[in-house]
Amino acid sequence: VISLRDILSESPEGSVSDMLSKFSCERDKDVESFLKEKAIVQEKKHISRTYLIFTTGSCTELLAYFTIAVSTMDVTGIVCSKEMQKKMNINRGLAQSYLLGQLGKCDGSPKGLGKFAVEQATDRIIAANLNVGCRVIRVDCKQSLVKYYEGIGFMFARHNYNDDLVQMVRIIGTQTAS
């Protein structure tokens, strides 16, 4: 797992763009286009941090990536338990959160790699939590992936403004589901 920031510090931006342009994710074209068109821009603006997962060995191949960022969450209409809401430290209708903004595997990558990517993202978020606080991890996903995220410890919180994504949360320090 290598950070895009580190790769950019060692290689010309053009060659990094070329490498990212080979990433293909037929299942979700937004996930593909973010990596190709926005990841470097957002990295340079300090909006988000992207991490790339490669095969090991001499012939390295990009298998998957994830992007994390800090994001404020409007909790209007939140439905998760009162205990969960208390842990979210809601203040004036807002909660601070670490957003798992992007997650995706390249076509043909092995099953379970996404879960590994979420674990890697969590490790990095825990490091940020130890340094600056905030214990909410959030993901905004399609309805079709709600069960997947529930299976790795996230809970339904609310729908987003446009009502096209489900906002799911997990509290750092609580047990994750297997």
Ligand X SMILES: CC(C)(COP(=O)(O)OP(=O)(O)OC[C@H]1O[C@@H](n2cnc3c(N)ncnc32)[C@H](O)[C@@H]1OP(=O)(O)O)[C@@H](O)C(=O)NCCC(=O)NCCS
Positions touching ligand X (CB under 6 A) are: 25, 27-28, 31, 103-105, 111-115, 141-142, 144-145, 148
Cα atoms in the Cβ-side hemisphere of radius 13 Å centred on 134: 22
Which residue number has the CB closest to ligand X? 114
CA atoms of 138 and 101, how far apart (whole Å) = 8
In the complex with ligand X, the residue whose CB is nearer, 75 or 118, is 118
For residue 143, give both structure tokens.
Answer: 């309805």
In the complex with ligand X, the residue whose CB is nearer, 83 or 163, is 163
Q: Residue 12 CB, nearest distance to ligand X (Å)?
A: 28
Q: Residue 21 CB, nearest distance to ligand X (Å)?
A: 17
In the complex with ligand X, the residue whose CB is nearer, 90 or 146, is 146
Alpha carbon separation from 176 to 119, 163, 173 (Å, rounded) = 10, 27, 9
Q: Residue 108 CB, nearest distance to ligand X (Å)?
A: 11
CA atoms of 32 and 141, how far apart (whole Å) = 15
Residues contacting 131, CB < 8 A, separation 6+: none
Q: Residue 92 CB, nearest distance to ligand X (Å)?
A: 28
Residue 51 is inside which H or E element, if any?
strand 49-54
In the complex with ligand X, the residue whose CB is nearer, 8 or 115, is 115
